Amino acid sequence: MKILVCISHVPDTTSKINFTEGDTKFDTTGVQFVINPNDEFGLTRAMWFKEKQGASVDVVNVGGAETEPTLRKALAIGADSAIRVNTEATDGFAVAKQLAKVVNDGGYDLVIAGRESIDYNGGMVPGMLAGMIDANFVANCIGLEIDGTNAKAVREIDGGKETVSTSLPLVIGGQKGLVEESDLRIPNMRGIMMARKKPLTVVEPTDASAETKVVSFEKPAPKGAVKLVDADNIDELVSLLHNEAKVI
């Protein structure tokens, strides 16, 4: 089984979000970048398939050279080789189109992407990719077993979960649940040394124009101060929620 894990290069969850160039670009000054958490759960599940079922695992990112340390980290965690599509990730559609070419060229059976990236939160790349390559698709995937070409997946739905049977080729939008938080691996020194020698191939992009464009970013207006209610006067809280906030 050939697995491709899509890796987004995203700001660490504690990052302060600021914009530059007239509020049209994310300001990366001082920002630490990491593997998108949803992708990391998927990568870790892919490692399990590699170790228990003899799969090969490649990772891919669509982005500039600045994303290579993130791909190297994925290699240090255990992926066999990495591909970087050398173009700016402009929107979900354009990224999916680049990935579709990588999947078709590489003949992958299983593509594991994250449910969404924690920066742009579009949540559309895995589904669009599946649509473009006409593969089966499971969104919000929290469990995945593969047996030959058959797959059993669990999808998180509003208020519960759903188990589906499907088959390869398959694309999933994965998240926590594919593996647990405690299963995530911190690369050790040996992994980091080995990652330096693993292949990281840079491929030039295919023709793909974006369908959406960000005109400008803005930040929420600063919040007013919290209204404190005395712990012995909970009646007041109920009254505020009813009369002032009008939410009960």
Given the complex with other proteins, which of 188 and 212 has the nearer CB atom?
212
How many CB atoms neighbour CB 205 within 10 A?
14
Q: Cβ 169 to other proteins, closest distance in Å? A: 9
Q: Cβ 247 to other proteins, closest distance in Å? A: 4
Q: Cβ 238 to other proteins, closest distance in Å? A: 5
Q: How far apart are CA 236 and CA 243, in angstroms?
A: 10
Given the complex with other proteins, which of 189 and 215 has the nearer CB atom?
215
Given the complex with other proteins, which of 204 and 230 has the nearer CB atom?
230
Q: How far apart are CA 115 and CA 151, in angstroms?
A: 18
Q: How far apart are CA 25 and CA 18, in angstroms?
A: 9
Q: How far apart are CA 13 and CA 17, in angstroms?
A: 10
For the record, the structure tokens of 217 come out as: 């970013």
Q: Cβ 7 to other proteins, closest distance in Å? A: 16
Q: How far apart are CA 243 and CA 240, in angstroms?
A: 5
Given the complex with other proteins, which of 12 and 105 has the nearer CB atom?
12
Handedness of CA 36, 42, 48, 49 (dihedral sign): negative
